[in-house]
């Protein structure tokens, strides 16, 4: 199941990322020759107008081929020669003429007719590239197209977080007030605390949510000597103070208060707000991971790539089911978004570095830029091979 879920999750994330590039490129009138999900040989393709939509065999990426992103000098004579050779071979196969006898007048006329059509079509294509190709557009248009993939990743992550909160229907502990929903019979607070009691402060320190309350109790329990703990409580709209003791719990091997959270329903507005807050938490975790990797606090072998991901996804599904899969989707979406924003040549962030100066009238030689992106692509391929190697070794540990 881990492999299936990984392919589905990665495929959807990549599709949404590339859809951002594709939709904005089309909006600005840039010619797009292919929208591909996956890498390697095609297993399915459909051409509509100028664009081929394809699914490729390796679910490790995807791309949108926008005309004019690479500066290629078009040589009409070289193009004619290449196409003529192709057409001659094509006609030989059609007519069964395998003996290189191409002096036949009808044969030559057909070659010239077909070549004329191909050349006419290619000249129109080249004209369109010069007029509407990627580098022919304004810096703003190119900036939007390049950033659109990352934006789609972030928007989809926010949408899934909102869905998770909506399906759950209740506030997560971090965003729930510290209201007692139940008291354990064996706890020492039984009879002292009641359902619907709202805990406002512990030993004089204010509490704003359930997570803060459990964290504060955890801090106290580290050096707990059976002393009283002062709880400020709101009960029946009146503030009171209860002095209680913690109870040792064999399962957690520590002292606990012995109460459960009262489930609190969330409004649409709260879910939207919490979605952004949770997105920020995921974003910070990912940035911290990138920072530790760059500074060497985390070794390269600790990274997980596409080969090691199914193992993690499978374990997550076994522990948390579909909700865990949605969480994995959010985490990977944000990871892919942030990684694409890194200023590494060949990535979206690396291309943005060359677009942003143009807003201030500074232009970079496009041939030099393409060479830099080629170096970046080689670096990324080497990096991917290293990550895959460490992924494979994890399966034998």
Given the DSSP bridges, would you call strands 238-244 and 247-249 parallel, antiparallel or unpaired? unpaired
- Tell me if 178 sits within 8 A of 199, measured CB to CB: yes
* Highest mean pLDDT: which range of 1-5, 11-15, 360-364, 393-397: 11-15
Length of the chain: 397
Structural contact between residues 181 and 264, judged by C-beta atoms closer than 8 angstroms? no
Residue 102 has pLDDT above 60, yes or no: no
Percent of the chain at pLDDT exceeding 90: 45
Confidence of residue 139 (pLDDT cuts 50, 70, 90): very high
18 is an active site residue: yes
Predicted local distance difference test score (pLDDT) of residue 46:
92
Can you give the pLDDT at residue 391? 67
Structure tokens at 48: 């509509």
Band of residue 315 on the pLDDT scale cut at 50, 70, 90: confident
160 with 329: CB under 8 angstroms? yes
For residue 146, name the pLDDT band (cuts at 50, 70, 90): very high
Helix axes 348-355, 139-168, angle to 10 degrees: 140
More confident residue, 250 or 13: 13
Judge whether residue 259 has pLDDT over 90: yes
- Confidence band, pLDDT 50/70/90 cuts, at residue 28: very high
Q: Please identify which of the residues 18, 103, 219, 270 carries the catalytic annotation.
A: 18
109 has a pLDDT exceeding 60: yes
Specify the pLDDT at position 378.
Answer: 87
Which residues fall within 8 angstroms of residue 154, CB to CB, at 6 or more apart? 279, 333, 334, 337
> From CA 46, how far away is CA 4, in angstroms rounded?
24
pLDDT higher than 70, residue 395? no
Label residue 324 by pLDDT band (50, 70, 90).
confident
pLDDT digits (tens, 9 = 90+) for 221-245: 988 888 999 999 999 999 999 999 9
pLDDT tens readout for residues 260-312: 999 999 899 999 999 999 999 999 988 888 888 777 776 666 667 666 677 77
pLDDT band, residue 397 (cuts 50/70/90): low
């Amino acid at each position: 199941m881990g492999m299936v879920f990984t392919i589905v999750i990665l495929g959807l994330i990549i599709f949404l990322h590339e859809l951002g590039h594709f939709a904005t490129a089309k909006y600005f009138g840039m010619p797009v020759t292919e929208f591909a999900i996956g890498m390697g040989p095609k297993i399915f393709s459909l051409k509509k107008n100028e664009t081929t939509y394809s699914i490729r065999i390796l679910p490790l990426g995807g791309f949108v081929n926008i005309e004019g992103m690479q500066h290629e000098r078009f040589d009409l004579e070289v193009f004619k020669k290449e196409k003529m050779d192709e057409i001659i071979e094509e006609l030989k196969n059609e007519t069964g003429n395998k003996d290189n006898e191409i002096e036949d007048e009808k044969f030559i006329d057909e070659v010239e007719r077909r070549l004329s059509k191909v050349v006419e079509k290619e000249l129109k294509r080249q004209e369109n590239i010069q007029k509407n190709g990627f580098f022919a557009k304004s810096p703003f248009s190119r900036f939007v197209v390049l950033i659109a993939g990352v934006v789609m990743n972030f928007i989809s992550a926010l949408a899934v977080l909102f869905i998770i909160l909506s399906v759950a229907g209740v506030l997560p502990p971090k965003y729930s007030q510290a209201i007692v929903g139940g008291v354990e019979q064996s706890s020492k607070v039984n009879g002292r605390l009641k359902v619907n009691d709202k805990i406002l402060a512990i030993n004089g320190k204010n509490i704003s949510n359930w997570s803060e309350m459990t964290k504060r109790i955890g801090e106290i329990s580290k050096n707990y000597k059976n002393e009283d703990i002062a709880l400020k409580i709101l009960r029946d709209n009146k503030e009171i103070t209860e002095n209680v003791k913690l109870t040792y719990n064999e399962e957690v091997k520590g002292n606990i208060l012995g109460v459960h959270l009262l489930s609190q329903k969330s409004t649409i507005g709260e879910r939207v707000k919490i979605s952004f807050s949770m997105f920020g938490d995921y974003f910070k975790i990912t940035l911290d991971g990138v920072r530790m990797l760059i500074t060497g606090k985390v070794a390269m072998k600790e990274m997980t790539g596409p080969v090691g991901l199914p193992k993690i996804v499978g374990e997550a599904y076994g522990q948390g089911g579909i909700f865990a899969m949605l969480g994995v989707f959010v985490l990977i979406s944000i990871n892919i978004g942030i990684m694409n924003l890194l200023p590494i040549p060949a990535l979206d962030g690396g291309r943005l570095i060359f677009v942003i100066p143009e807003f201030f009238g500074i232009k970079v030689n496009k041939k030099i830029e393409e060479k830099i992106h080629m170096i970046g692509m080689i670096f990324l391929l080497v990096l991917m091979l290293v990550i895959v190697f460490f992924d494979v070794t994890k399966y034998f540990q």
